[in-house]
Amino acid sequence: MSTPPLGTPDTTGAVAPWERLIAVIRERWDIVALVVLAVAPLVLPPLGGALGGQVTTLFIYCILALGLNVMVGYTGLVHLGIAAFFGIGAYLFAILTVPMYPFQMRFLTAAVVSALATAGVGLALGAPTLRLRGDYLAIVTLGFGEVVKVTLRNLEQITGGMKGLNPVPPPGAGLTIGGTDLGLAFAIDPRWFYYLALLALAGVVLAMRRLENSRLGRAWVAVREDELAAEAMGVSATRVKLSAFAMSSAVAGLAGCLYAASLSTTADPNAYDFNRSIMVLCAVILGGLGSIPGTLLGVALLVGFDTVLAPWADSAIQQWNINSSGSSLLTFSGWRLAIFGVALILVMRYRPEGLVPSRRLAAELHEVHA
Amino acid sequence: MTFFLQQCLIGLTNGALVALVALGYTMVYGIIRLINFAHGDLIMLGACLALTLVTGLGMAGWTGAATWLGVALLVVLCGLFCGGLNVAVDRLVYRPLRNAPKLAPLVSAIGVSFIFMNIGLFWLGPADRSFPELLPATNLFAGGGLQFTAKDLLVIVVVVPLMVALSVLVKSTRFGKAMRAVSQDTTAAALVGIDVDRVISATFFVGGFLGGAASVIYGLYINTIGFQMGFQNGLYAFTAAVLGGIGSIPGAVVGGLVIGLVRALSSAYVGERWTGAIVFAILIVILVFRPEGLLGRSTKEKV
């Protein structure tokens, strides 16, 4: 029995079951992924340990990247300081919850307040700078990122300097439902955070989907494709860009809250530096600008590279005894930066729309090339 | 008062160095509108080569005229190295993207910067390395309260002639004329028979050469190099270029001197650890209120 080559329209009506499966996955990748991720902790014991924490961090980076995607992907504004907003969210959340400060809000209230406040910071930075040309705006965001990092590091009375703020209480601290202390449950079993982050990620994905096809989402894309034409159609480019800036910052701030809560500390300010910003940007670009599955895949690839592929390759090199001299040239992780660099260059050259392109952006890019 | 003057002197010397790096940004931006993210890391590689040469030739033992000749040799070799590398990168990475959307070359430049940093990591190792002191630290201002050593003199001796040479090159040679033409309007320049790609390559070479010279001075003046030095120094220099008006060559020089002064004065009076924040805050303020910079001309957005 021969199978028809991929892409051939099926005329017989008989579809092989695996093809149907592939089609279902392609159509409904989101539901499939959600179900797999939701069931995984129940069947895979390692997810109840350190691995669970790593996957939680992965989800949080996915949220951060989706936030960045609003600006870079949909609206076409290069943002090189997203980590600053991630950090602002984390620190605001910490200030609102740690015992050191008088606020000590509940998780949800604190998360909402700090995400909104982060959006406010984004507006404050965006309002005066959004009329700048594209590459100047990129530099402003970069400079802002550095200013935030230095400020977080130096305002020791407020931010705790290099020690950061801790302990950030777990969500639901003090709440008891059906005899279980929620705060304690979060503190003991990483799966609680896993599900919380997964839920937040699913919520953000859903919101982004709705936004993509909303009036605002289409305005973002219109401004990216041709600002002048969009203005002529009655779209206020300034307002649209500002809303993208605010949305990006709010989502990044939310990711920051989850990050601080899951680590139970803000970590030191270096966690929110240019490197973090650029890695998230790489993820969005490699995966596909303006594409939700692309962004998620990009983050998974980058994080997977650091936590799975690099350690595996390093230990493999050691096992095969290639690197008997112990030179850092012969380790895989030593080449990390160069590999990312080459990947960025190759993607820009041959597939600027990314690995899983958004349909609109792919069309736009190929029109430019023609 | 002496303290203030001393800080100004330090600032101007530092600023001359910043200006040299800023020229590399401004020239490339002026001609192909690309923020060359990798420029700072190119200079880091130049410093790696300088350190290797200084160690390899045993220059720490040289004295007097031999030292100064050696430094001149270093400037030329590192200049050629960085210039050549810059041209190669342009040829391989940026040239295929000339007609691509603007994001593409910018992101590729970030990629190049990563690759350079990785090379620097292998070259220097993960820790900072100290660069040998080649020049005597004796004060040249006998009797005065001000401190001005051979190291400071070196910066001036290298930077001023390079800038004079550059302005002659740009203002009074055939190549300079072609460069200015390409920067004004690439298509029109091509139409009157200018080989645009060659002019762009040459611009990358000149910018890289100045960066190579800067890397030698950086090593001799600051005495510590590391594979991550490119990012921050590049950012300071880029700020200088924007401050002066990006694309403007005198602007880069003025901007560099101003940034040098700001850094020295804020380190002295506000505290070293705030310097970075102050410089970048200035950058943001300038971009908001006077995006064309101090000496730049305002350009209208082309439709």
Name residues 205-264 of chain A within 8 A of B (Cβ). Answer: 228
Q: Which residue has the tokens 């920051």?
A: A256
| pLDDT, tens digit (0-9, with 9 covering 90-100), for B3-39 | 888 899 889 999 999 999 999 899 998 888 888 989 9
Please tell me which residue of chain B has the smallest CA distance to A225.
B101
Q: What is the pLDDT of residue A9?
A: 53
Task: Tell me if B235 and A146 make a contact (CB, 8 A cut-off).
Answer: yes
Task: Tell me if A343 and B111 make a contact (CB, 8 A cut-off).
Answer: yes
Size of interface A-B (CB pairs under 8 A): 125
Q: What is the pLDDT of residue A83?
A: 96
Q: Which of A78, A136, A335 sits opposite B103 (nearest CB)?
A: A78
Q: Which of A207, A184, A221 is nearest to A254 (CA)?
A: A207
Q: Which is more confident, A331 or B96?
A: B96
Task: Tell me if A146 and B111 make a contact (CB, 8 A cut-off).
Answer: no
Q: What is the pLDDT of residue A222?
A: 93
Q: Which of B163, B213, B162, B167 is nearest to B42 (CA)?
A: B213
Q: What are phi and psi of B248, to 5 degrees?
A: -100, 125
Q: Is residue B121 within 8 Å of residue A336, measured between CB atoms?
A: no
Chain A touched by B196 (CB under 8 Å) = no
CA–CA distance, A55 with A36 (Å, rounded to integer): 13
**Which regions of chain A are under pLDDT 50?**
1, 369-370
Contacts of B101 in chain A (CB under 8 A): 352, 365, 368
Name residues 125-184 of chain B within 8 A of A (Cβ). Answer: 125
Q: What is the pLDDT of residue A3?
A: 52
A167: preceding bond cis by omega (within 30 degrees): yes
Task: Tell me if A329 and B238 make a contact (CB, 8 A cut-off).
Answer: no
Q: What is the pLDDT of residue B302?
A: 40
Q: What is the pLDDT of residue B142?
A: 65
Name the band, by pLDDT with cuts 50, 70 and 90, for residue B297: low
Q: What is the pLDDT of residue A36?
A: 85
Contacts of B112 in chain A (CB under 8 A): 341, 345
Q: What are phi and psi of B217, to 5 degrees?
A: -65, -40
Task: Tell me if A128 and B288 make a contact (CB, 8 A cut-off).
Answer: yes
Q: Which of B114, B279, B289 to mutate to test the interface with A (most CBs of A within 10 A)?
A: B114
Contacts of A274 in chain B (CB under 8 A): 231
Contacts of B273 in chain A (CB under 8 A): 150, 153-154
Task: Tell me if B122 and A328 make a contact (CB, 8 A cut-off).
Answer: yes
CA–CA distance, B165 with B172 (Å, rounded to integer): 10
Q: Which is more confident, A181 or B172?
A: B172
CA–CA distance, B113 with B117 (Å, rounded to integer): 6
Tell me the range of A89-93, B130-134, B290-294 where mean pLDDT is highest: A89-93
Please tell me which residue of chain B has the smallest CA distance to A282.
B107
Output the six-digit token pair for A248: 């990006």
| pLDDT, tens digit (0-9, with 9 covering 90-100), for B230-254 | 988 888 898 898 888 888 888 899 9
CA–CA distance, B255 with B278 (Å, rounded to integer): 15
Q: Which of A78, A291, A159, A71 is nearest to B105 (CA)?
A: A78
Longest CA span, chain B: 62
Q: What is the pLDDT of residue A43?
A: 84
Contacts of B283 in chain A (CB under 8 A): 139-140, 143
Bridge partners (DSSP) listed for residue B149: B139
| pLDDT, tens digit (0-9, with 9 covering 90-100), for B186-201 | 899 999 999 999 999 9
Name residues 43-102 of chain B within 8 A of A (Cβ). Answer: 93, 96-97, 99-102
Per-chain mean pLDDT for chain B = 88
CA–CA distance, B202 with B212 (Å, rounded to integer): 15
- What is the 8-class DSSP label of residue B149? B
Output the six-digit token pair for A131: 């009329």
Q: Which of B91, B106, B287 to mutate to test the interface with A (most CBs of A within 10 A)?
A: B287
Task: Give the mean model confidence (pLDDT) for residues B75-96.
Answer: 96
Helix (H) or strand (E) holding B224: strand B224-225
| pLDDT, tens digit (0-9, with 9 covering 90-100), for B257-287 | 999 999 999 999 988 889 888 988 888 888 8
Q: Which of A133, A150, A365 sits opposite B101 (nearest CB)?
A: A365
Please tell me which residue of chain B has the smallest CA distance to A227.
B303
Q: What is the pLDDT of residue A370?
A: 39
Task: Tell me if A365 and B276 make a contact (CB, 8 A cut-off).
Answer: no
Task: Give the mean model confidence (pLDDT) for residues B202-212.
Answer: 95
Q: Is residue A240 within 8 Å of residue A117, measured between CB atoms?
A: no
Q: What is the pLDDT of residue A353?
A: 83
Name residues 298-357 of chain A within 8 A of B (Cβ). Answer: 328-329, 334-338, 340-345, 348-349, 352
Task: Compute CA distances B229 → B21, B28, B36, B38, B41, whole Å.
Answer: 13, 21, 16, 12, 7
Q: What is the pLDDT of residue A198?
A: 95
